[in-house]
Amino acid sequence: MPPNRPLGEYITILRLFAEIFSAMIINNKTLHGPKPKAHLTSTTIGLLVCFTGLDNGLSSRAVIGFSAIGKSRRRQRTISNRRMALPQLARIGQGDLDWVPGNCAECETFACYRDMCASLGPVGSGIRAVSLTLNIGQGGPVPFCRQCCQLAKIIALENGHGEIVDLA
Q: How confident is the model at residue 112 (pLDDT cuts 50, 70, 90)?
A: very high
Q: How confident is the model at residue 167 (pLDDT cuts 50, 70, 90)?
A: very high
Query: For position 109, what pLDDT does the model report?
Result: 94
Instruction: Identify whether the C-beta of residue 112 lies closer than 8 Å to the C-beta of residue 139.
Output: no
Average pLDDT of span 12-27:
84
Domain boundaries, the chain: 7-166
Bridge partners, 48 (sequence order): 63, 131
Average pLDDT of span 61-89:
85
Query: For position 124, what pLDDT does the model report?
Result: 64
Type of residue found at 50: C
Query: For position 7, what pLDDT does the model report?
Result: 93
Output the average pLDDT for the chain. Answer: 84
**Residues 6+ away with beta carbon under 8 Å from 113:** 48, 50, 129, 155, 156, 159, 164
- Whole-prediction pTM value? 0.86
Q: How confident is the model at residue 33 (pLDDT cuts 50, 70, 90)?
A: low
Residue 15: CB atoms within 10 Å:
15
Q: 75 pLDDT exceeds 80?
A: no
Which of 31-35, 96-100, 158-162 reaches the highest mean pLDDT? 158-162
48-62 in b/e burial notation, b at 16+ Cβ within 10 A? bbbbbbeeeeeebbb
The four Cα atoms 98, 99, 105, 111 give a dihedral, to 10 degrees, of 140
